[in-house]
């Protein structure tokens, strides 16, 4: 099998390839550099940090595992440095292409007189109040450097010839990294915030009358894993709060620095930050934290950005008519971001005022910073509905936000559950209970994506709206698990982790083996974000060897090595492919599921996940057509092979960009 960390770096290389693809609009290519950089930050914060922890924990106990993990870290370092070189080559190429479009990124030494006046004024107006240099020679203890922040390390000489060293944190939480300069010649000129500060450095340090000023960017990445001890005298809420505070002090697992920095300055920094391994020093260019490039300005250059695609109206949803009643009549399949997420928000809003609705239940993993979902749930509670929210406090990097949301919801007397000990709640479920003609009816929404309006604009997700009691009643059963986890639960329709998901997937794979062995055409077609679980991989390999045709669309990590019977591709495009869909069989009645689970051990065994079957033939056909369309993509699809070559998938067929073609089909 392919090591998951090496496979993940290969996925991020595919993101970098989007920045290199000249068919992608130029400014969007700059933004892909930001996505690549942001991904890599998280990789070091989580995966590399975990490996370093493992080595430390196993010291002297399991030399084989320590050696294997150390070897992987060495391979990671080599691959990261290789990609770093490719990254800067790509950046320079985009930089040169921007010039062709009269977009110039200037540094502090290239400003004309008018631009100098503007940069000085901008600094005084916007920047000065947000920065305070830390004069290192004035303090006894080296300051704590925050994760994700970017710092200017400054070296100079005072008037008395004594050395001056200082640090300035860039205020990117408050200001854009990119400052658009005034121009009267038709060009669009930009200067980095870094260089705005550099230009004003003689003024900033004016009290010292500095000479020979040097400045270099540095950035740290820290261990982001949470330590949740078993102190039962504290509530889970309190323990998570404490752990989040500790995360901010995590050990350094990477230092990115300007390779032009003299060795004496680098040594000084290394001696003070206590980096946990020398293997993760990443030399870079003058600018770091390219994650900020995700916010690179459009500059009024619409032709250099993706053309804006308006949401399409759902063909089977009639505007102005009760959506709840329409779902009772017929299941609805939603495809985001092509369909508007407002359908989901409006569903909850309608439920909030419908006198026949008694209860709303929802599981929240990630929500938007200004969440309309949260607002709708509060309003439902104010209208007398029983609102029941399962909120996952351990959603990585959203823990603090979820703590705050849970507090706000509790203030509205909304019933909150924090999931179950040892099981992270990752399912994406909404249930509305409605009384009609004296009978209670469950209406369910089961999705592959979160209840997050912002990501619903960028992520490709699929969801089912249904009042089919076979499905909706079992969604209600999932919510009952949180109240009464001690009871035995049996699901005849939903596949729910950790109860029946793994064993059901095994059975579905084995059924296709039987079909193939009996002379039929066994088929397995799976679309997920990640394929890592060894048990599933072995089952798929066995099925492939016995004649089952297997197609896999894996956006991210894939530890399975493809064979002649198992084809694997990955699509990276303008939208983040996020759907999880499982298709078994070519018979008249193929079996299809969609839901929240990836094929990783954590999803199958230590999370609450839910996959729903699709029962209506019309919706089944929609999903099969969607998967076939993605398989035909010859513009955004790359072949996953044992060498991690990331070659583009091409054929002699008609041009197919599955994301744009789906939009056109739904329009």
Q: How far apart are CA 202 and CA 158, in angstroms?
A: 11
Let me know if residue 610 belongs to a domain: yes
CATH at 589: 3.30.870.10
Does residue 489 have a cis peptide bond before it, meaning omega lies within 30 degrees of 0?
A: no
φ and ψ at residue 528, rounded to 5 degrees: -145, 170
Per-residue confidence band for 277, with pLDDT thresholds at 50, 70 and 90: low
For residue range 166-180, what is the model confidence (pLDDT) as tens digits?
A: 999 999 989 999 999
The whole domain housing 428 covers 323-483
At 203, which helix (H) or strand (E)? helix 201-204
Please tell me whether residues 262 and 124 are part of one structural domain. Answer: yes
Most confident listed range (228-232, 418-422, 448-452): 448-452
Please tell me whether residues 414 and 547 are part of one structural domain. Answer: no
Clarify whether 426 is annotated catalytic: yes
For residue range 613-646, what is the model confidence (pLDDT) as tens digits?
A: 999 999 999 999 999 999 999 999 999 999 999 9
For residue range 504-554, what is the model confidence (pLDDT) as tens digits?
A: 999 999 999 999 999 999 999 999 999 999 999 999 999 999 999 999 999
**Last residue in a domain, options 304, 333, 353:** 304
- Both tokens assigned to 160: 């008395």
Please tell me whether residues 460 and 506 are part of one structural domain. Answer: no
Q: How many CB atoms lie within 10 A of CB 454?
A: 15
Please tell me whether residues 475 and 500 are part of one structural domain. Answer: no
Q: How far apart are CA 580 and CA 588, in angstroms?
A: 22
Let me know if residue 457 belongs to a domain: yes
Alpha helices in 45-169 (DSSP H): 49-58, 63-100, 113-122
Q: Which residue has the higher pLDDT, 367 or 333?
A: 333
Residue 240 has pLDDT above 70, yes or no: no
Let me know if residue 547 belongs to a domain: yes
In this structure, of 76-80, 435-439, 526-530, 603-607, the range with the lowest mean pLDDT score is: 435-439
Residue 232 has pLDDT above 70, yes or no: no
Please tell me whether residues 204 and 164 are part of one structural domain. Answer: yes
Most confident listed range (52-56, 410-414, 467-471): 467-471
Q: How far apart are CA 255 and CA 70, in angstroms?
A: 18
For the chain, the domain total comes to: 3
pLDDT in the model for residue 245? 52
- Options 426, 452, 493, 578, the catalytic residue: 426
In this structure, of 221-235, 381-395, 532-546, the range with the lowest mean pLDDT score is: 221-235
Please tell me whether residues 508 and 468 are part of one structural domain. Answer: no
Question: Helix/strand/coil (H, E, C) string of 353-406?
Answer: HCCCEEEEEEEECCCCCCCHHHHHHHHHHHCCCEEEEEECCCCCCCHHHHHHHH
Q: How many CB atoms lie within 10 A of CB 89?
A: 11
CATH at 57: 3.30.1840.10
Instruction: Please state the rounded mean pLDDT for residues 433-455.
Output: 94
Let me know if residue 391 belongs to a domain: yes
As a whole-number percent, the residues of the chain with pLDDT over 90 amount to 76
pLDDT in the model for residue 247? 44
Let me know if residue 209 belongs to a domain: yes
Please tell me whether residues 550 and 609 are part of one structural domain. Answer: yes
Asked if residue 365 lies in contact with residue 603, where contact means CB atoms within 8 angstroms, the answer is no
Please tell me whether residues 133 and 65 are part of one structural domain. Answer: yes
Asked if residue 239 lies in contact with residue 229, where contact means CB atoms within 8 angstroms, the answer is yes
pLDDT in the model for residue 236? 45
Q: How many CB atoms lie within 10 A of CB 577?
A: 22
**Last residue in a domain, options 241, 274, 304:** 304
**HSE (CB half, 13 Å, CA atoms) of 268?**
17
**HSE (CB half, 13 Å, CA atoms) of 192?**
17
pLDDT in the model for residue 278? 61
Q: For residue 69, give every residue at least 6 positions away whose Cβ sits within 8 Å of its Cβ, in sequence order, or none.
A: 51, 54, 55, 58
Question: Helix/strand/coil (H, E, C) string of 166-189?
Answer: EEEECCCCCCCCEEEECCCCCCEE
Pairing of the two strands 607-613 and 591-595: antiparallel
pLDDT in the model for residue 230? 42
**Last residue in a domain, options 304, 331, 364:** 304
pLDDT in the model for residue 287? 83
Please tell me whether residues 474 and 530 are part of one structural domain. Answer: no
At 104, which helix (H) or strand (E)? strand 103-106
Q: pTM for the full model?
A: 0.90
Q: For residue 411, give every residue at least 6 positions away whose Cβ sits within 8 Å of its Cβ, in sequence order, or none.
A: none
Please tell me whether residues 222 and 352 are part of one structural domain. Answer: no
pLDDT in the model for residue 388? 97
Please tell me whether residues 216 and 249 are part of one structural domain. Answer: yes
Let me know if residue 593 belongs to a domain: yes
Q: How far apart are CA 602 and CA 424, in angstroms?
A: 9
Let me know if residue 489 belongs to a domain: no
Please tell me whether residues 511 and 429 are part of one structural domain. Answer: no
Q: How far apart are CA 84 and CA 86, in angstroms?
A: 5
For residue range 76-104, what is the model confidence (pLDDT) as tens digits?
A: 999 999 999 999 999 999 999 999 999 99
As a whole-number percent, the residues of the chain with pLDDT over 70 amount to 95
Closest CA to 327 of 432, 428, 448, 456: 432
Let me know if residue 314 belongs to a domain: no
């Amino acid at each position: 099998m392919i090591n998951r960390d090496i496979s993940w770096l290969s996925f991020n290389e595919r993101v970098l390839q989007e920045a290199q693809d000249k068919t992608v609009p130029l400014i969007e290519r700059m933004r892909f550099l930001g996505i690549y950089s942001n991904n890599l930050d998280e990789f070091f914060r989580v995966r590399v940090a975990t490996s370093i922890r493992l080595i430390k924990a196993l010291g002297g106990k399991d030399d084989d595992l320590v050696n294997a993990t150390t070897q992987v870290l060495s391979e990671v370092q080599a691959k990261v440095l290789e990609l770093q070189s490719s990254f800067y080559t790509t950046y320079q190429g985009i930089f040169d292409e921007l010039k062709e479009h009269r977009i110039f990124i200037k540094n502090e030494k290239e400003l004309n007189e008018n631009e100098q006046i503007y940069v000085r004024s901008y600094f005084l107006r916007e920047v000065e109040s947000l920065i305070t240099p830390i004069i290192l020679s004035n303090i006894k203890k080296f300051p704590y450097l925050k994760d994700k922040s970017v710092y200017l390390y400054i070296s100079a000489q005072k008037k008395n010839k004594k050395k001056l060293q200082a640090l300035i944190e860039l205020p990117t939480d408050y200001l854009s990294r990119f400052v658009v300069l005034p121009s009267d010649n038709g060009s669009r000129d930009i200067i980095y915030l870094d260089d705005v500060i550099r230009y004003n450095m003689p003024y900033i340090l004016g009290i010292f009358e500095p000479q020979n000023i040097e400045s270099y960017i540095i950035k740290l990445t820290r261990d982001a894993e949470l330590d949740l001890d078993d102190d039962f005298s504290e509530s889970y809420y309190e323990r998570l709060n404490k752990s989040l505070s500790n995360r901010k002090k995590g050990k350094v697992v990477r230092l990115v620095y300007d390779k032009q920095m003299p060795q004496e300055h680098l040594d000084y920094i290394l001696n003070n930050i206590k980096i946990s391994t020398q293997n993760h020093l990443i030399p870079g260019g003058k600018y770091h934290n390219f994650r900020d490039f995700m916010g690179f300005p459009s500059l009024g250059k619409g032709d250099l950005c993706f053309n804006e695609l308006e949401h399409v109206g759902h063909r089977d949803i009639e505007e102005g008519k009760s959506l709840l009643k329409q779902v009772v009549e017929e299941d609805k399949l939603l495809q985001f971001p092509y369909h508007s997420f407002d359908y989901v928000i409006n569903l909850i809003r309608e439920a909030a005022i419908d006198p026949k609705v008694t209860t709303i239940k929802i599981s929240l993993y990630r929500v938007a910073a200004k969440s309309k979902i949260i607002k709708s749930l509060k309003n439902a509670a104010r209208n007398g509905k029983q609102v029941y929210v399962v909120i996952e406090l351990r959603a990585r990097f959203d823990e603090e936000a979820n703590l705050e949301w849970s507090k706000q919801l509790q203030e509205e007397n909304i019933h909150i559950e924090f999931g179950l000990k040892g099981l992270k709640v990752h399912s994406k479920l909404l249930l509305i209970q409605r009384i009609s003609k004296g009978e209670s009816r469950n209406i369910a929404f089961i999705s592959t994506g979160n209840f997050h309006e912002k990501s619903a604009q960028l992520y490709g997700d699929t969801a089912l709206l249904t009042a089919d009691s076979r499905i909706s009643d079992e969604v209600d059963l999932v919510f009952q698990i949180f109240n009464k986890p001690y009871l035995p639960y049996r699901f005849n329709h939903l596949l729910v982790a950790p109860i029946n998901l793994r064993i059901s997937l095994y059975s579905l794979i084995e059924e296709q083996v039987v079909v193939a062995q009996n002379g039929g055409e066994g088929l397995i077609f799976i679309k997920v974000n990640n394929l890592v679980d060894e048990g599933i991989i072995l089952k798929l390999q066995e099925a492939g060897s016995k004649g089952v045709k297997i197609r896999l669309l894996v956006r991210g990590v894939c530890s399975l090595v493809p064979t002649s019977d198992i084809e694997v591709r990955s699509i990276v495009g303008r939208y983040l492919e996020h759907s999880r869909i499982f298709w078994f069989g070519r018979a008249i009645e193929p079996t299809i599921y969609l839901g929240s689970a990836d094929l990783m051990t954590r999803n199958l065994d230590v999370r609450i996940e839910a996959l729903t079957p699709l029962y209506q033939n019309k919706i089944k056909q929609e999903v099969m057509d969607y998967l076939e369309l993605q398989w035909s993509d010859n513009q955004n699809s790359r072949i996953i092979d044992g060498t991690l070559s990331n070659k583009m998938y091409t054929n002699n067929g008609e041009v197919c960009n599955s994301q744009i073609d789906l939009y056109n089909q739904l329009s």
